[in-house]
Chains A and B, each alone.
Chain A
Amino acid sequence: MRRQQFVRSIWLHLVMVPLALLWLAPLWLMFVFSTLPERDIFSTPTPLLPGGDFFTNLQNLNADTNFSRTLLNSVVISLIYTVLSVLLTSLAGYAFARFRFWGSTTLFTVVIATLTIPYFVVVIPQYILIAREFKITNTYWAVVLPSLANSLGVFYMRQSFLSLPSSLLEAARIDGAGEWRIFFQIALPLVRPAMAALSLILFLTAWNDYLWPLLVLSPDNKAALTAPVALGSLIGLTRVSWGGIMVGAVLMTVPFLILFVFLQRQFIAGIAAGGVKD
């Protein structure tokens, strides 16, 4: 029995180790390329060890597009989006979890049903609103506004509020606390772990978002240009520093890889939340 387990374990590792290395290879090469001069990136066999040209490549990248500025835009946009979206979805999730009111079931069903509706269906009217009605392209708000109403966030926050003991909130109510005070001072602090997981996922989504920002931001206007759109605009060019592009990819990715190592539980909780229903 023991021997059989041992043999099985060996086989498992024989499959998993190469597969894991294969999975990590693109990220490793991203890092390696970001540190190499142009001629080494385009040489065979593919170099597998890093060089010392990271900062030269960073300069090239900033010469191709003001990447530092776009990184700053991305940070600001992702922060605004995360804070507002968590607030909005927490408020809505709380309303659905704590109150029974006229239309509550219907509304909740409608909100959750949009999870199965492809984003493509709304993207054109969203664009018409932002670009033609509000005329706010190339601003932070153009990027942030349309996706604030996140259905998964409402679902997730509602679940979290449902798990709170209602006796606690009732007690506060009897003590004469107003609904808003109960929400902000009692309910919200109690679901902090859920808020953290949701924030992480929303921040990451905003940080990596490409299609929508591509529509409402133009690469020539750096006012609100995000890092992915700036980097994407370089990929199609012929005379461009690929070492620079790789630096951009690394700067966009590595902070989250580090965060992922330390906050794996929160990331996983946020992702798995969609799949596991109560």
Chain B
Amino acid sequence: MRRNLTPYTFLLPYLIVFGLFWAWPILYSFYLSFLDTRSFPWAWNPGVNWGRILQDATFQDALRNTFLILVIQVPLMLALATGLAVALNSQLLKLRPLFRFAFFAPVVVGAVAYSAVFRLIFNTDFGAVNSGLRALGLGPVDWLYAPAPAMSVIILVVTWRWTGYNAIIILAGLQSIPKDIYEAAAIDGATPWQQFVRITLPGIRPVLLFCFVLSIIGTLQLFTEPFLITNSGPGTATMTLGTYLYQQGFRSFNFGYASSIAYTVALLAGVFSLIQLRFFGRD
């Protein structure tokens, strides 16, 4: 009997924290999304938040912006990360540790630190990017205060931060592909491109799928970059589901409405993950 309780004693500390700060919150925020939290005391009113979310123009802006970032940024980044991983894995590349450092370094840089730097780099009057454009006879572009440029800044910054991270995961996948397959293919006269399409891509598919799902969940929750670099603006041009949830939940303290935004994010994450699994998960 004593023996049977042992695993539970090992698990107990973890389970207490997990139950209190994960399991209960998952259920409670679902419940909250049906409460009117702008009344005191909070009142059961199933339609108030979910009805509002369907008509809320700012929410729709946030949703559209988040989708736009998702559709452009995630494929762009993962294509780049795959290319980098193949390059960093190639015997043809000299000084590989140096290149690895260059692309992997952003992994250890905090969002606040790089957001501050990118604000300066994309400054309209003095920033390095416009200064470079001017030298080419272009620009200046009002990077942080015009809608489309502000959006591209967010996409670029997120790509800078996460490409190396994904390349690390993809590289680990690449290294698990047996080398003799490539050797056999090379003897059969397969070009590098053919080897990439026929051997590499199928080999890293599970890892790539993992990166896709992870990136989608991450992008759906994008917060720090639009919050600190563009302040969700101009207007609502870079408002994301993350910054809107923050605004509703922790500026207006409307926990009910913020919870329905949170559950929308969860729903989208679930749907996207399922689509990914359906299309790329099968063998």
Contacts and interface: CB of A to CB of B under 8 A. Distances in A.
Contacts of B224: 210-211
B154 interface: no
A111 B17 CA distance: 12
A246 B112 CA distance: 11
Interface in A80-129: 87-89, 91-92, 94-96, 98-99, 101, 104, 107, 110-111, 114, 116-129
A253 B112 CA distance: 10
A122 B21 contact: yes
Contacts of A15: 87
Contact of B28 (A125, A260, A275, A277): A125
Contacts of B1: none
A5 B92 CA distance: 8
Contacts of A126: 21, 25
Given A33-B120, A211-B223, A128 B255 contact: yes
Nearest to A154: B14
A37 interface: no
B107 A208 contact: no
B78 to A, nearest CB: 12
B74 to A, nearest CB: 15
A118 B221 contact: yes
B110 A207 contact: yes
A271 B93 contact: no
A75 interface: no
B100 A264 contact: yes
A260 to B, nearest CB: 5
Contacts of A104: 7
A208 B107 CA distance: 11
A267 B108 contact: yes
Interface of A: 5, 8-9, 12-13, 15-16, 20-21, 23-27, 29-30, 33, 41-46, 87-89, 91-92, 94-96, 98-99, 101, 104, 107, 110-111, 114, 116-129, 145-149, 154, 179, 183, 204, 207-208, 210-211, 215, 228-229, 231-232, 235-236, 242, 245-246, 248-250, 252-253, 256-257, 259-261, 264, 267-268, 271-272, 274-277
Given A154-B14, A252-B113, 15 more contacts: A23-B106, A23-B164, A27-B106, A46-B127, A92-B15, A118-B269, A120-B221, A122-B26, A146-B21, A179-B10, A246-B120, A256-B108, A260-B108, A268-B104, A276-B176
28 contacts: A9-B93, A12-B87, A13-B94, A16-B93, A20-B102, A23-B105, A27-B106, A27-B109, A29-B117, A29-B128, A33-B120, A42-B125, A88-B13, A88-B17, A92-B10, A101-B4, A121-B263, A122-B25, A123-B262, A124-B255, A148-B17, A179-B6, A235-B115, A235-B116, A256-B108, A257-B108, A267-B108, A277-B206
Interface of B: 4, 6-8, 10-11, 13-15, 17-18, 20-26, 28-29, 32, 87, 90, 92-94, 97-121, 123, 125-128, 131-132, 134-135, 160, 164-165, 168-173, 176, 192, 206-207, 210-211, 213-214, 217, 220-221, 223-224, 228, 231, 241-242, 245-246, 249-250, 255, 258-259, 261-263, 265-266, 269-270, 273
